[in-house]
Structure formats: C-alpha cells, structure tokens
C-alpha cells in the first residue's frame, strides 16, 4: 500500500479494458467453459497497463468516482491493480453487485469483509472511511436510499481515466422495470460541462473512446427523447473527440 491509506481495487474481470472492446467484457460474466481458465481470463479480461506503483491507466468508472471523492476530502487514496496485496487491511465492499453479499453470508465472513455498502456512495463514503481509519466499529451493511442520493454538486469529476472512456451522463432510469434497483434512484442528468471535463480526463490519458449506456434517455421527459438535449450532447462529444 506504501504511501496510500486507502486502496481501491476489484477483481481482474472488472480491472481490465477487455482489449478495448467493451462487449468482450461480457465473456467475463460467465464461467470458463471449454477453455483453460488462464486463456479465458486473458481473452475476457487481460491485465491493464499500470504505473510503477501499480495504479492502472484505466479503471472502472464507479471506482474513479469514489477515488475522486476521497482525494477531494483530503485522503491519500488510489486505485491499485488487484495483484497488489497486503494483509491486515479493513475491507469495505461496494459496487453494482454489492447486494449479492446478502446471499453469501458465509463468504462475507470467510474473506474478512468488514462492511458492504449498497448504492450511491458520494454522501456517505467520507464519514465511513474516517470511522474505519479511526478504528471505530463499522456496521456490517449500509443501504444508501433515495434520501442519501448525492446532488449533482456532490458528485466529483473523475481524476483518472475510466475503462474504455466510459462517462456517466445520467443516474437513475425512467423505464421502471420492476426488478431493477437503478430505477429507484432519483433521476438526474449530468450537466454538459461536467461530461466535457471527464471526456478531457480520458483524452489526456490517451483513451479516445467514449461510450455510455441508453444515451437516448439523456435529458428525456419520462421516456420521451429530448432532441435538443441529445443534439447538444452529441455536438459536444464530436467537438471534443474532433470527429
Ligand atoms: S436501468 Fe435497465 S433494467 Fe433498470 S429500469 Fe432502466 S431499463 Fe429497466
């Protein structure tokens, strides 16, 4: 861990740019059937480029947000490749699959996970990390509900490149699928100036891709597309990528 008091990391299937082909990453969501596991892992999730401290050039976007929030709060935090290892650390787990720990209580204890956080963390992570570093007792599980959802101003701009140039354009989803936790989060559209800043961060790291999911919902009224907002967004991206 060296000079960092907080290390953010994840498993290899997430800490990879999937050879620059995002959809190859879906291969990593299944088991290695009919292939030696090492070959499957290399195909789906090759190791990313890292610097001399083990910091990856590209890292998962959500993790970049947490890193930015902690750095802005004054912590020495960094994203480190999962091949960096040190014993005796406190483990706080989160991310899109955090809820799955509720079904794996045995592994939760076996692997020494101290706390699982489920949901948007910007409003809560600084206080939790302060408590963890002060060796105060942590709860086992925190669910971040809609009332603790961060405002746009509380969401930091990423400080390092995201995997394959992913940039968030909105949170929440108006489609309302019954099984989905994303739709329960308050809907918010990320302003163009913040999107522009994050594209710049990626470009400066040599990541010239830009992708986002369900882009036609940007600025939408309900699920009805908003042509004006979409044209502005696309013009911005084309200008920045000089296409
Ligand atoms: S994020 Fe996907 S699954 Fe969830 S509500 Fe929207 S469309 Fe449905």
Pairing of strands 170-171, 188-189: antiparallel
∠ CA 112-117-123 to the nearest 5 degrees? 135
Residue-range domain boundaries for the chain: 167-243
Q: Which residue's C-alpha comes closest to atom 7 of ligand 1?
A: 175
- The pLDDT of residue 55 is above 70: yes
For position 243, what pLDDT does the model report?
A: 59
Any atom of ligand 1 within 6 Å of the Cβ of 170: no
Q: Among 9-13, 121-125, 207-211, 223-227, which is the least confidently predicted range?
A: 207-211
Of residues 22 and 149, which shows the higher confidence score?
149
Between the CA of 74 and the centroid of ligand 1 the distance, in Å, is 35
171 alpha carbon – ligand 1 mean position (Å): 11
Average pLDDT of the chain is 91
Output the pTM of the full model: 0.89
Classify residue 1 as exposed, middle or buried by CB count within 10 Å of its CB (0-12, 13-18, 19+). middle
> From ligand 1's centre to the CA of 236, what distance in Å?
26
Give the integer Cα–Cα distance in Å for 111 and 196.
40
Say yes or no: CB of residue 180 within 6 Å of ligand 1.
yes
pLDDT at 83 over 60: yes
Quick check: CB of 239 below 6 Å from ligand 1?
Answer: no
Give the model confidence (pLDDT) of 171-228 as tens digits: 999 989 998 888 888 899 999 999 999 999 999 999 877 776 788 999 999 999 999 9
**What per-residue string of b and e applies to 179-197 under the rule 16 or more CB within 10 Å gives b?**
eeeeeebeeebbebebbee
Give 140 Cα–ligand 1 centroid separation in angstroms: 28
% pLDDT > 90, the chain? 64
Rounded CA separation 122/144 (Å):
10
In tens, the pLDDT along 149-163 reads: 999 999 999 999 999
Query: Are 81 and 15 a contacting pair, CB within 8 Å?
Result: yes
Distance from residue 175's CA to the centre of ligand 1 (Å):
6
Crossing angle (nearest 10°) for helices 192-204 and 227-240? 20
Quick one: pLDDT at residue 183? 86
> How far is the first Cα of the chain from the last one, in angstroms, to the nearest whole number?
41
Residue whose CA is at the smallest distance from ligand 1 atom 4: 180
User: How far does the centroid of ligand 1 lie from the alpha carbon of residue 213, in Å?
Assistant: 11
88: left (phi over 0), alpha (psi -120 to 50) or beta: left
Examine the pLDDT at 1 and tell me if it is beyond 60.
Answer: no
235 close to ligand 1 (CB < 6 Angstrom): no
pLDDT of residue 85: 67
Q: Which atom of ligand 1 is nearest to the CA of 183?
A: 5
Mean pLDDT value across residues 127-132: 95
- Phi, psi for 61 (deg, rounded to 5): -60, -45
Higher-confidence residue of 157 and 85: namely 157
pLDDT of residue 131: 95
């Amino acid at each position: 861990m060296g000079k960092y008091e907080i290390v953010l990391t994840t498993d290899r299937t997430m800490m990879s740019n999937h050879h620059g082909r995002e959809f190859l990453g879906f291969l990593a969501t299944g088991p290695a059937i009919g292939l030696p596991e090492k070959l499957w892992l290399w195909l789906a999730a090759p190791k990313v480029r890292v610097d001399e401290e083990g910091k990856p050039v590209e890292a998962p976007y959500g993790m970049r947000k947490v890193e930015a929030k902690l750095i802005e709060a004054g912590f020495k935090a960094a994203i480190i490749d999962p091949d960096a290892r040190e014993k005796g650390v406190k483990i706080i787990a989160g991310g899109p699959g955090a809820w799955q720990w509720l079904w794996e209580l045995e592994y939760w204890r076996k692997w020494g996970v101290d706390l699982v956080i489920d949901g948007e963390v910007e409003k809560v992570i600084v206080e939790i990390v302060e408590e963890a570093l002060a060796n105060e007792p942590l709860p086992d599980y925190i669910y971040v509900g809609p009332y603790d959802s961060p405002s746009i101003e509380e969401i930091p701009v990423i400080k390092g490149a995201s995997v394959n140039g992913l940039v968030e354009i909105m949170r929440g989803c108006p489609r309302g699928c019954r099984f989905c936790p994303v739709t329960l989060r308050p809907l918010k559209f990320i302003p163009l100036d913040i999107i522009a800043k994050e594209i710049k961060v990626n470009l400066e790291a040599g990541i010239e891709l830009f992708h986002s999911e369900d882009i036609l919902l940007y600025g939408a009224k309900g699920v009805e597309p908003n042509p004006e907002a979409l044209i502005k967004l696309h013009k911005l991206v084309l200008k920045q990528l000089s296409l």
